[in-house]
Structure formats: C-alpha cells, structure tokens
Amino acid sequence: MKFGKELKSQMVPEWQGAYVDYEFLKSLLKDIQHYRLKVRPPPSNPPGLPRALSHYRTFSGLTSVQRTMSMRSFSSRRHDDTESHAILVNSVRRSDGDEGYVTTFLRTEEDGGEYELVYFKRLDDEFNKVNRFYKAKVEEVMKEADELNRQMDALIAFRIKVENPKHAWFETAVDMDNLVSAVASSSAALSASVSSSGRRHSKRMAEHMDKIDEDKSLRGTSVRESSQQDDSPQEENHSSHRIVQEVTISTSNNPSNRFNVTGKPASLEILNRVRFNKHTDTPLPTIKGVLNVPIQTDLKFSAENLSKIEDQLRRAFIEFYNKLRLLKSFSFMNILAFSKIMKKYDKITSRNASKSYLRMVDTSYIGSSDEVITKLLDRVEATYIKHFVNGNRKKGLNTLRPKIKRENHKVSASLGFFAGCTVALIFALILTIRTRNIFEKEGRGRYMETMFPLYSFFGFIVLHMLFYAGNIYFWKKYKVNYQFIFGFKAGTELGYREVLLVSFALSVLALGSIHVNLDMEMDPKTKDYKQLTELVPLILVIFIFAVMICPFNIVYRSSRYFFLTCVIHVFLAPLYKVVLSDFFVADQLTSQVQAFRSIEFYICYYTSGDYRHRENSCDKNDAYSTFSYILAAVPFWWRMLQCVRRFFEEKDAVQGWNSLKYFSIIVSFVTRTAYGRNNSNEWYIIAWITSVVAGIVATYWDIIYDWGLLNRKSTNPWLRDKLLVPYKSVYFAAIALNVLLRFSWIQMVLDLELPFLHRQSMIAVIAILEIIRRGVWNFFRLENEHLNNAGKYRAFKSVPLPFNYEDDEDDT
C-alpha cells in the first residue's frame, strides 16, 4: 500500500484537517518534477543500442575501487557541504505567541526555483499546523492527567475509608511513601523536551527520571519490609498510583494543586475537601432539580458508592488511554509523512535538504515529546492494572486497548443462508397466491383486515433494519465515525453484515409464519380457523420481545441492551440527559408510527376473542380509534420533550425552535384526526393549513439544520463546504426525495384510493415511504454530525468524573 493511502487509513477521522496534507505536497513536487523534465530532459540512449550507456563505459579495473570509493566519498562530502545550504530553517515567534518554523530557500535564482519556494512555503504551513495542534492536544492531555491524579487520590482515600475504616492512620504509613516510586515525571520531561537541546536533552531527562523511579522504588521496598517486620497492615491495592508528577508546570496558584516531590501524597484528609459531582443525567436528580430540592453531594462511604466511583474512573481511564494512543499515532504518522515527502524532494531535485529539515522536525515539539506520551501510556497502564483489575495485566490491557473487530466467516455464511431463504420464501409466497388464486377467494377481505396488519409489522421493522445496514456500509465507506458518534462500546458495534443477518433472519421467521396460515378458508364444520396457526403472529412477537430482553450473551447482547437503554430514555423523556444516540432513536420511532399502531392492533385483536374467526371490531371501538391517533403523536411528543430539556439545559435557542417543529407536527396529526371524524369543510381547511405548515417546517429543518445543506455561500453552491460523497448530484437527489416523501400525508387528507390496492395496502405503502425517507435522512444527518465534530476536533467522549474539589469551586 502506498504511504498516502496508509496515512489516510490511519487518520483519526475527526482530526483529519490537522494532519499534513500529504497529497497536496506531492502535487507540488510533481510540478517541480515536470518543470525540471521540461527544461532539462534526461539524456536518451543512442539509437540502435538497447542497453543503457553504463553498460558500455570504460572498464576502470578492480584495483582502483578503493581510490574510486575515496574520491566518491570526498565528492559526496563536498556535495553535502554545498547542498546543505540550499535551505535554512529558523524558529520564529508568531504574532499569537506560539513558536513557528520558517524555511528559507537559498536557490531561488536557479531555473524552477519559484516552484521550490512555493513548496517550502506550503511545507512550513503544514508543519506549523501539525505542531500547533499536537502541542495543544498534549497540553490538554497533561491537564487531564493531573485531574485524574486528583481523582485517584480521592478514590484511594475513599476506598480505605470504606474497606478499612478502623485503620485511618494508614495515610501516614510507609506504603504511601512507595507511591512516589510510581510517579511519572511527564510534565518535567515535557518541559525539557521542547528546550533548545531537543530530543537528546529529553532522552537524558527520561533516563534521569527512570533512575529516580528506581531509587524510590528500592527505598519504598526497604521501608515496606521494615514496616512489615513491625506487623503494620499493608494492602497493596490501597496504594495510590499517581500518573503525572507536576514538577515544573502548575495548573493553579493553589499549593494543593501541586505535588511536593519531597512530601507524602494526599492522605485521608483529602476527603475533607472533596464532594460528589452533581449529575443530572438520571431521573431522580432531574426531578430534584426541577423541584429545587438540593442534590446531596456529601460523601457517603458505602460499598455501592465505591462501586459507582470505580466504574466512572475506569471508563475515564479507558477513554484517556485511547486518547494517548491516538495522539501517539498522530505524532508518528505525521513525522513519517514529513520524512517521506522530504526524501521525495531530494530524489526529484538531487539535493540533500532533507537532513537539515528533518533535524528541525526532530527537535520540534512534536518530534521531541513523543517519549513523554510513551511514558504516560506506561503509567496509565500500570495504574489501571493495579487499581481496577487487581493486577491482572492481560485483562487490563485487553480492556484498555481497543479491540480490532475481525470479520467472522460464520456471519457471512449465515447471512447468505438467510438471504437465500428469504428470496426463496418470497417466490414461494408469490407462486402460492398465483396458483391457488387466493386473492380471488371469499376470505380475501377478511385476511387483509386482520392478518395483513399483523404481518406488516415485521415488514416495517425489517425494512428499517435493511436501511440501517446500508447506512453503516456507506458510513464506513466515507469514513464517518458512527461508533464514536453513537457512543458504542469499542468492539461491540454491529457492522452492516450483522445487521443484515438479523434482518434476514427475522424476515425468514415472518415469511414462514405467513405460509403457515395463508389459508383463507374456514373449516366447514367448526366455521373457524385453527387456533394454533392463528396464534403464530402473536407467538412470533412474544419470541422477538423475549430475545430482546434475554440476559444471556447471545444475539448481540451488548447492542440489544444499548438499544433498549436508548428506548427507555426516550420513553422517560425528559427525565434523562439527552445524548445523540437517544434522540437519534427517537427520530427513528417517529417514522414507525404504523408499527406502533400494529402493536395496538395486536392487543385489540387477540384480547377481543374473535381471532379464531379472523374477525375484529377494533375499528368500531371508539377507544381504539382515539388511542390509535394518540399513538401517532406520541413519538413526536417524546422528541419534543427531548428538545425542551436540551433548550433549558444547554441554553440553545435552536433546540427551542426544534421543539416547536415537533409541536407543529403534533397539531397537524390532531387536525387530520378531527377531519377524519367530522368530515366537515372547516376541519378540512384547518387540516390542510396545519399539515402544510408542519411539512414545510420539517422539510426546511431536515435540509438546513440536520443536513447542513442549501448554503448558497458555500464553496459547493447550495450544498455545504465539505462533502463526503464525491457526487454532488446525490445531495440534490436526496433533497428532492425528502421533499417529496415529506408530503406523503396528502393522500390522507385527500383520501385518495387506488382500485388495485386494498386500504390496508395503501396504509402500508405510506408507512414504507416514510421509512425510506428516514433511511436516507439517517446517512446525511450523521454525515453532518461527523463533519461538525471534525470541525471542532471532537474525537472523544466526555466522561463525567465522580469527585469535585472544593478549591475548584472557589476558583470558579
């Protein structure tokens, strides 16, 4: 694989704009090469000689090799001395205070020098961009590491208080002295790494700190052994393992924010300055907040609270470790890119300028602070293994390091099997209907009014899953980081093959059930249908529900529970804090209104007692009809409540307008329902007005806000500045399709009927069109979210921490 493709595949999607633009630099080198070939074309071989000229040069003899090599070495040294002055790289102080690098090209008078001047100007811009970004990210990492230090101090003290309250004197025990041996000197090494001595000074600092660590480890061991002779109770898992020792950098003027190298780490006294963080992402804190009931933040030393704290810090460490790994990869890939591009430059121009430029890269911030990140990674590993997995290194590393999901051949084989069965069952169903003339029999109308709504429920679900599988395929193809955006646990997200497997397996079950009770003729003796076959749809629904809540680790349990958690959050809106996965699921539910009505029909049909005769009186029941229309508005009501919560919580006016959009849709449903019942001219006009307003507002919101399109000042007219799909026509087609399908409700207002379609079939077609619209909407909605994250370089989840220091509150 060429390096350009390798670089692209290794990029953090949200940081793509911060990487070196390798392809553009290559294009500048091609311009230099083309100009040189144009001005100084390479000598061609003499006519009639098929071999190169070197094959016909005078033989110099074997004895002159040493002399030739010596002359060549001397010539090379002279060449290096001359060409080393082709460029001069200087460090300059920018207007914003940051350090930058400027390369001066000294051969502008040569032919094509202006091309090389442009190349080095863009090369400097790219390097300064990469260097500034990396420096900013490392500074963020160091601050997070310091905060995790403080959190770990509080956790250790909390753990001692819970598990060993009688030994409160433990904080002064010599085992705490041993903690200092684990202290990483990342900040000190980082400060040294950017000094004038560059990488060599950083290496000496790292070696020096390693020696300090060894000395302190030995001292801590000897003290611990002496304390054990005094029968002092020591517990290894209670020792605090600090990640970063802040020696030269202080995050605050408060002395408590700095670590004293000669003193002891934080003791149990730290608990006097610590409170629980206020979290309003669950129902109880939300209700207390609405009722102005103070949320309890005082520490309660219980095993339950300890378990919650450890779980929060465990997730924080995993996310922090992942950030360090990606930051290390970012540094490595960019330095390698500059090395590759400079070697290409040397090859094209026959210069030796790469040495001086790469020397600058090696001594810059990004080139000299790699050891700091490496040491910090080691400290995080040691801390996590020691304090969260009881020293089990294998288990700790498996948790910390993201798992590479491999393609499973069993999934592909099973997918092919169920897909083939689905196609075969569909053909069998068509042939059965055609050969037996089923739809010409007397029971056709009864079947369409009873069994068809029951089985269409599975069709809606399968179709939605098929579109979701397609979305996953194209998200992966166009590098949309859907795993991060949805917040899936690493290694547990479903690929498009897994989703297709589940959808085709469900379709096989549904089609098989249809074949079981497709017969439309009653038993002439009993005048009813077979009870067991009539219960098949209900049994299938119960089976699917049982699989969804199954506690065993089968059928993608992690994904099932993730989905159920989102559904619960939607049902209890606005009691839960709204995240993207929650409102994304809520949006899907707004497109499954007919599926909700099918569930209502299941309840009515099988509780009325007429299912043996395939008869129902549901449509004649006023309560059923009223609740059917309420169900149509409930998903939009949930979505509106989510927007209301975000409006008050995030102070975002856009969410307030979004809630009004969903309210307008609810009003349109209500007015269309009233028109369906009264069938008067007044309600007809009101239904038209409210439906048109809701349709226009929803369409405008889809395209402008959710997709970020129709920006007339964009570099891509009427679209947006950045597009992942290379074909602009795809976006315009999606816009047109969304507008068309958004107004499919017109059929309901106009009460259009097609003679060759049954009423239930027409309802199903309208529902299918809405699912198709939602499937297309999903791709562009997540594409826009991904680009927004990339624009702000948001590549990591924000993990809430359990403790809050009182001095932090004072600072704010």
Single out the residue in 402, 417, 447 at which a domain terminates. Answer: 402
Pairing, β 803-805 against β 274-276: antiparallel
Strands 803-805 and 87-93 turn out to be: unpaired
Look up residue 781 and give its two tokens: 């909605």
E strands in 37-174? 87-93, 99-105
Do 317 and 447 have their domain in common? no
Structural domain of 677: 409-791
Q: Are residues 469 and 381 in the same domain?
A: no
pLDDT of amino acid 291: 62
Per-residue pLDDT, averaged over 648-654, amounts to 90
C-alpha distances out from residue 193 to 250, 271, 294, 364, Å: 17, 35, 48, 8
- Please tell me whether residues 384 and 426 are part of one structural domain: no
pLDDT digits (tens, 9 = 90+) for 381-437: 999 999 999 889 999 988 888 777 777 789 999 999 999 999 999 999 999 888 888
Q: Which string of DSSP letters, residue by residue, matches 187-239?
A: HHHHHHHTSTTHHHHHHHHHHHHHHHHHHHHHHHHHHHHHHHHTT----GGGS
* Count of domains for the chain: 2
N-to-C CA span, the chain = 51
pLDDT > 60? residue 536: yes
Least confident segment among 148-157, 176-185, 457-466 = 176-185
Q: What is the pTM of this model?
A: 0.80
Whether 395 and 526 map to the same domain: the answer is no
User: Residue range 23-43: average pLDDT?
Assistant: 84
- Is residue 398 located within the same domain as residue 432? no
Q: Is 270 exposed, middle or buried (0-12, 13-18, 19+ CB in 10 A)?
A: buried
Query: Quick one: tokens of 674?
Result: 């009233």
Task: Tell me the range of 176-190, 439-453, 724-738, 777-791 where mean pLDDT is highest.
Answer: 724-738
Q: Looking at the structure, do residues 323 and 418 belong to the same domain, yes or no?
A: no
3-state secondary structure of 622: helix
Q: Is residue 275 part of a domain?
A: yes
pLDDT (0 to 100) of residue 43: 60
pLDDT at 520 over 60: yes
Domain boundary among 402, 422, 447: 402
Q: Domain check: are 398 and 462 in the same one?
A: no
CA atoms within a 13 Å half-sphere pointing along the CA-CB vector of 74: 6
> Which pLDDT does position 190 carry in this prediction?
44
523 and 576 in a single domain? The answer is yes
Measured over the CA atoms of residue 590, residue 475, residue 465 and residue 699, the dihedral's sign is positive
* pLDDT tens string 108-125: 777 778 888 899 999 999
Q: Which residues contact 471 (CB under 8 A, 6 or more apart)?
A: 775, 778, 779, 782
Res 304: pLDDT: 87
CA pair distance 605, 618, nearest whole angstrom = 7
Gyration radius of the chain's alpha carbons: 35
Task: Name the domain boundary from 382, 402, 422.
Answer: 402
| Amino acid 296: pLDDT | 61
CA 791 to chain centre: 14
Stronger pLDDT, 214 or 593, i.e. the higher one: 593
Residue 461 lies in a domain: yes
| Separation CA 384–CA 401 (nearest Å) | 12
Out of 103-112, 261-270, 415-424, which region has the weakest mean confidence (pLDDT)?
261-270
Identify the pLDDT of residue 750: 62
CA–CA distances in Å: residue 728 to residues 105, 193, 718, 724 = 40, 47, 10, 10
Comparison of pLDDT for 145 and 288, the residue scoring more: 145
Question: Of the ranges 105-119, 336-350, 520-534, which one carries the lowest mean pLDDT score?
Answer: 520-534
- 579 backbone dihedrals φ, ψ, rounded to 5°: -115, 170
- What was the pLDDT predicted at 47? 52
461 & 312 share domain: no
Residue 383 in domain? yes
Question: For residue 108, with 0-12 CB atoms within 10 Å meaning exposed, 13-18 middle and 19 or more buried, which class applies?
Answer: exposed
Q: What is the pLDDT of residue 477?
A: 93
Cα separation of 530 and 542, whole Å?
A: 19
Whether 786 maps to a domain, the answer reads yes
Tokens of 197: 């001595």
Residue 534's pLDDT band, with cuts at 50, 70 and 90, is confident
Residue 798 lies in a domain: no
| Whether residue 317 sits in one domain with residue 190 | yes
Whether residue 289 is contained in a domain is answered as yes
The string of DSSP codes covering 300-362 is: ---HHHHHHHHHHHHHHHHHHHHHHHHHHHHHHHHHHHHHHHHHHHHHHHT--THHHHHHHHH
Shared domain check, 272 and 160: yes
Residue 805 within any structural domain of the chain: no
Q: Indicate whether 247 and 395 sit together in one domain.
A: yes
pLDDT for residue 173? 41
The pLDDT of residue 283: 74
In this prediction, residue 301 has a pLDDT band, given cuts at 50, 70 and 90, of confident
State mean pLDDT over 174-181: 40
Specify which residues 89 forms β-bridges with: 103
Examine the pLDDT at 85 and tell me if it is beyond 50: yes
In a domain, 624, yes or no: yes
